[in-house]
Amino acid sequence: MNTGQINQHTFHAVVPAAGNGSRMGSATPKQYLPLLGRPVLRHTLDHLLSVPSLAAVWVVLSPDDVDWNRFDWPVDARLRVLRLGGASRAASVANALAAISGETSAATWVLVHDAVRACVDPADVENLIATLADDPVGGILAAPLADTLKRADSETRVAQTIPREGLWLAQTPQMFRLGMLQQALAAAPDVTDEAGAIEALDLKPRLVPGKSSNFKLTYPEDLALAARILSGEFERKQA
């Protein structure tokens, strides 16, 4: 694959978009569900591509994806498509990193972002980059836990109230050096996010505050909430 040489001293975004989103209850993968007249993934990519610091945005699709070509996507030379999606998020990211490594170096910063976090604020991504650019480990966008947390028992009754002090909700992007992230995912391929893999190396990712609106669309009702958030964003831009 000839994708053109990219400056290795830059920041790259990787968007794993090979999942089917079974909890959304739709035959259509949730990254392609309609949101304000566009697929969810289009909103995500528009927000990432509005971040000037990103030299490239790599979308990782399933090799047999039949939906991508049904839609219009941003006309931006930084948008790259990789049909290298694996059986899990970690596998998709690892495959993408292997492809990107031929274009960059192990020291390149990679920001992994969920395809269905369509309400991410570009200003938060810029702050993540600025905060972590000189960090020895890297880190993630996250939000301090505001609600009371309960642990349920087998009968779905409250078994325990868990103190929320020091608890954060992990978000994306999650930003780490390419080489370090490759090493981490190879050692811990079953993690649910990149920070978990880095933690398995006995390293401590930094938590960078993000907005609660940067949530992951998971259930059908999440589409309505995202539409309200994005509609408010559009109204502010037009004001």
pLDDT digits (tens, 9 = 90+) for 94-103: 999 999 999 8
Percent of the chain whose pLDDT exceeds 70: 91
What's 225's domain CATH number?
Answer: 3.90.550.10
Kindly state the DSSP code that residue 32 receives in the 8-state scheme.
G
pLDDT in tens, 209-218: 999 999 999 9
Confirm whether 142 is domain-assigned: yes
Number of domains in the chain: 1
Q: Which of 91, 98, 66, 99 is nearest to 192 (CA)?
A: 91
Q: What is the pLDDT of residue 158?
A: 94
Phi-psi region of 4 (alpha: psi -120 to 50; beta: other; left: phi over 0): left
Q: Which two tokens stand for residue 158?
A: 């409250």
Q: Is residue 2 in a domain? A: no
pLDDT in tens, 172-206: 999 999 999 999 999 999 999 999 999 999 999 99
Confidence band for 93, pLDDT divided at 50, 70 and 90: very high
Residue 72 lies in a domain: yes
Confidence (pLDDT) at 236: 57
pLDDT for 235 beyond 80: no
- What is the rounded average pLDDT of the residues 78-82? 98
Q: Give the three-class secondary structure for 200.
A: coil
Q: Is residue 4 part of a domain?
A: no
Residue 149: inside a domain: yes
3-state secondary structure of 82: strand
What is the extent of the structural domain holding 45? 11-238
Contact call for residues 80 and 73 (beta carbons, < 8 A): no
1, part of any domain: no
Contact 55, 10 (CB under 8 A): yes
Q: Is the peptide bond before 74 cis (omega within 30 degrees of 0)?
A: no
For the ranges 56-60, 120-124, 149-153, which has the lowest average pLDDT?
149-153
20 pLDDT band, cuts 50/70/90, is: confident
Confidence bin at 2 (pLDDT 50/70/90): very low
In a domain, 6, yes or no: no
* pLDDT of 237: 54
What per-residue confidence (pLDDT) applies to 24?
Answer: 64
95 found inside a domain = yes
